[in-house]
Amino acid sequence: VSKVVSNISISLDGFVAGPDDSPENPLGDGGEGLHEWIFDLASWRRAHGRGGGKTGRDDDLMAEAIEQTGATVMGRRMFDQGERPWGDEPPFRHDVFVLTHRPREPLRKQGGTTFFFVEGSAEEVLTRAREASGEKDVSVASGQAIVQFLEAGLLDELTIHLVPVFFGGGVPLFASIDPRTPPLELVEAIPSEGVTHLRFRRAN
Amino acid sequence: VSKVVSNISISLDGFVAGPDDSPENPLGDGGEGLHEWIFDLASWRRAHGRGGGKTGRDDDLMAEAIEQTGATVMGRRMFDQGERPWGDEPPFRHDVFVLTHRPREPLRKQGGTTFFFVEGSAEEVLTRAREASGEKDVSVASGQAIVQFLEAGLLDELTIHLVPVFFGGGVPLFASIDPRTPPLELVEAIPSEGVTHLRFRRAN
């Protein structure tokens, strides 16, 4: 069954980017440390058109997430920061819906990725993403989109990749989330090398 | 062997007290919800001189924490807020060291609790607390003291009781912690009813 899922790396003190983030320093000071556990995984390298890389538990998790995802939703900020580094052949290889207040023409890239710039509620965007994802899951990327989908009660699963580092400041995942947001419950904790995967689902 | 440990309840979005906390509303709006899993435990009731209460896994954890603790360190804010509700016979029943910039005479209470008001570095306070705790553990209570001990690399174990609620604001556990703070690693995640216990220790 198609689910709405999210995967995000955060610091021990709850930040998804370090202090002093800017267009030139998109992950903030030290922010790239949150993603180091990913860069060398075989499945990640494959998605980026490269060979080799580490296999094992982290790679299995990542491979499954990539394989299961049929469409991605992200905030405008993540798109703006990612567009250049993703290049001509972005790693998504499916439809990506970018939340924005300035809709524009879709941007078709090589390798199967098309970016759609959409306005509307989380429900409306999800309807479009579900059509695109078919039997597969819709992945909600970027902190901004995750909070929006959580508040709307639309996220089925959230996997937090907890990286053992303190930032002391930066972009918090849960800045001023609506306190009426349906709570999450922890389903599973998977310790690994340099990261712990905490799998949450919507509590009933 | 005597360890330096800490136990603290936090919301999903990382707050130890809700929004708008004040002396009249010490836990902030909704903050008492963080501690509901504790109030009815048999071991907690026993520490407060009452009978009955729930047994089981949560109670075993709490009973062990209470039994293993030989001295407590807390911030001034926690003492100020707790002094009245704790009453004439506070539940600690051992020496409590309150971090303050205004040292004063110790405050002896019934039932074995004495509050010492101490100034100095985390190291200095810990030396005194270790003398008082003997073979047992030193427990660091209150977010303020936890951050101070973490930054000094003096906390051996931190157990976070993650309560499935979002606050959207309040008193964060890790507000602007020093980014050079030695990181923690997750050792164990224990799901329970209405709370998940996440046991961390200092990473090596």
What are the tens digits of pLDDT across the range A26-82? 899 999 999 999 999 999 999 888 999 999 999 999 999 999 999 999 999 899 989
DSSP state, B183?
A: P
Q: How far apart are CA A120 and CA A104, in angstroms?
A: 13
pLDDT surpasses 80 at B204: no
Q: Could you tell me the pTM of the whole model?
A: 0.92
Q: How far apart are CA B20 and CA B10, in angstroms?
A: 16
- CB-CB contact of A163 with A11 (8 Å): yes
From B15, B2, B44, select the one nearest B154 (Cα to Cα).
Answer: B2
Instruction: Confirm or reject contact between B143 and chain A (CB < 8 A).
Output: no
Write the ipTM: 0.89
Each residue's pLDDT tens digit, B4-41: 999 999 999 999 999 998 878 889 999 999 999 999 99
DSSP state, A33?
A: G
Instruction: Confirm or reject contact between A183 and chain B (CB < 8 A).
Output: yes
Instruction: Confirm or reject contact between B185 and chain A (CB < 8 A).
Output: yes
The gap from C-alpha B45 to its chain's centroid, in whole angstroms, comes to 17
Each residue's pLDDT tens digit, A185-202: 999 999 888 899 999 999
Q: How far apart are CA A28 and CA A170, in angstroms?
A: 7
Name the closest residue on chain A to residue B195, using Cα atoms: A185
From A135, A155, A138, select the one nearest A147 (Cα to Cα).
Answer: A155
Mean pLDDT of B101-113: 96
Q: Which residue type is seen at A114?
A: T
Instruction: Confirm or reject contact between A33 and chain B (CB < 8 A).
Output: no
The gap from C-alpha B77 to its chain's centroid, in whole angstroms, comes to 12
Mean pLDDT of chain A: 94
**Bridge partners, residue A184, by sequence:** A202
Mean pLDDT of chain B: 94
Give me the residue from B174, B187, B189 closest to A13, CB to CB.
B174
Instruction: Confirm or reject contact between A179 and chain B (CB < 8 A).
Output: yes
Q: How far apart are CA B142 and CA B203, in angstroms?
A: 22
Give the start-end residues of each E strand in chain A: 4-11, 15-17, 69-75, 95-99, 104-108, 114-118, 137-140, 157-163, 171-172, 184-192, 195-202
Structure-block tokens of residue A27: 């992950």
Pairing of strands B137-140, B4-11: parallel
pLDDT surpasses 90 at B197: yes
Name the closest residue on chain A to residue B181, using Cα atoms: A166
**Contact across the interface for B196 and A178, Cβ inside 8 Å:** no
Q: How far apart are CA B18 and CA A10, in angstroms?
A: 22
**Contact across the interface for B14 and A12, Cβ inside 8 Å:** no
**Cβ atoms < 10 Å from Cβ of B112:** 12
Q: Looking at beta carbons, which residues of chain B come within 8 Å of A169?
A: 176, 179
